[in-house]
Structure 1
């Protein structure tokens, strides 16, 4: 069976990576730690490790409910602990009375350091507190290089993982029955807009799937995908329950603004 047929063509490189991780663990009898993965990547990794596998896989993103998580792949005779995920939590110190820092500013500043997105976990904001998670192997570099967010001067303080602030994200669960897993069909159903309007949003570059811009309305979505439509908010495909008797797809999703 060709494993690639179950995934998107653009995901082939990542699938090859996962194959490599599994092979490494099987041959070296030692653990392999990934970068931070988005929900879709986590879904792909999970599909490789069944209950009967001699190789196990756990996920952790620094706190319970983290969206971006590292995967730890290890032989079944080993025990995984949180320390093995090698995650550092930083909190920003800045002039809180005079400056407001937003999520996009933090991400932009982090990406300007020249590291790939996979080295960073979730960015957490709660009132005046701003935190982000990073892979421990780049923590010292980030601490030395990051001294401003936007126009605000900042310094970084490393704090224990248990002090991560709650996201307080409230997802509203919805169940939809749709004719296709095409992006335009799903956007239309989840955001309660017409198919024509959903196609327009996508073609105008306002749609993202797993944080990557998608301008093709016929793009096929799957379980674990996170959608973002500029001006309409975010949604995630939690479960694809299969087809109904009328050959429609039943999908459980989450919506938030």
Structure 2
């Protein structure tokens, strides 16, 4: 397999190229030995590319891509040997649940991830983290689940109790959004990002060029990139927005837009 050729096909930068090569190496090993093998959790962009590559370049390979529940962002690739069907149900993931959260804790994603990584684990062993008012769910590789269950006893200054639960009991989060309406001159990425994240256009432009902004999980470094309805824009350290609707033009010939910002 021409890995360099595949990387060129997707115009990957060095960071993503290295990540993709690691995944392709595991796929090649699994296929050549006809064994069950899974990757670590992947960036959403890389996992989507892997799906395309497996369908195009490994047409007869039995595989699945999952994050443990339907709308997961971070996912693993599983390669199955010829004698196993991908529907037989053995997914090497588990969910760590933390219930009865301490009063006033108000945990966020960074708090939880920081505490888990503080146990000496690598980020790629951890999938999505789902937080609501009463419970935290952490999708993890099965190989580290018991270690986390035994050692994750504190988040920030609060003592907690973690336990392993089945994937079938994962409760997806009902996302809440703030509605933003604004007018913009065009649907350029820098313009929409400036509006949705309440940032100056010059700063948004600079950060886009520094690859701090993604569209539909794909890093975009061109400020003039055109955004369309339904596109998801994530801005490192600032969250995520969706260009929900373009509502028409104003008398000054500006575009009136409706943005949903994830809370």
Q: SS in structure 1 opposite 2:55?
A: coil
Q: CA deviation at 1:208?
A: 5.0
- In structure 2, runs of 5+ residues without a counterpart are 180-185, 226-230, 244-258
Alignment of 1:90-239 (within 5 A): 90-93=96-99, 96-169=102-175, 185-190=188-193, 192=195, 195-201=201-207, 207=212, 209=214, 218=222, 227-231=234-238, 233-235=239-241
Q: In the alignment, is the contact (CA less than 8 A) between 1:70 and 1:85 conserved in 2? A: no
What is the CA distance between 1:137 and its match in structure 2?
Answer: 0.3
The separation in 2 between residues aligned to 1:84 and 1:191, in whole angstroms, is 44
Report the secondary structure of 2:30's partner residue. helix
Task: Tell me how far apart the structure 1 counterparts of residues 232 and 61 of structure 2 sit (CA, whole Å).
Answer: 25
Q: Measure the CA separation in 2 of the matches of 1:74 and 1:91.
A: 28
| 2:94 and 2:139 in contact (8 A); partners too | yes
Residue in structure 1 matched with residue 12 of structure 2 by the alignment: 8
The CA RMSD over aligned residues, in Å, is: 4.0
Task: Identify the residue that residue 48 of structure 2 maps to in structure 1.
Answer: 43
Query: Displacement, 1:162?
Result: 2.3
8 Å CA contact 1:94–1:152 kept in 2: the answer is no
CA distance change for structure 1 residues 157 and 220 in 2, over 3 Å: closer, same or farther?
farther
Bigger Cα displacement from structure 2, 163-172 vs 107-116: 163-172
Q: Is the aligned partner of 1:22 residue 2:32?
A: no
The TM-score with structure 1 as length reference comes to 0.72
Q: Map Cα deviations across residues 131-161 of structure 1 (whole Å, 9 max, x no partner).
A: 1111110112112221100000111121222
Max Rg structure: 2
Distance 1:17 1:254 in 2: 36
TM-score by length of 2: 0.70
* Separation in structure 2 between the aligned mates of residue 236 and residue 40 of structure 1, nearest angstrom: 17
1: CA distance, partners of 2:213 / 2:88:
31
Aligned length: 229
Three-state SS of the structure 2 residue aligned to 1:84 is coil
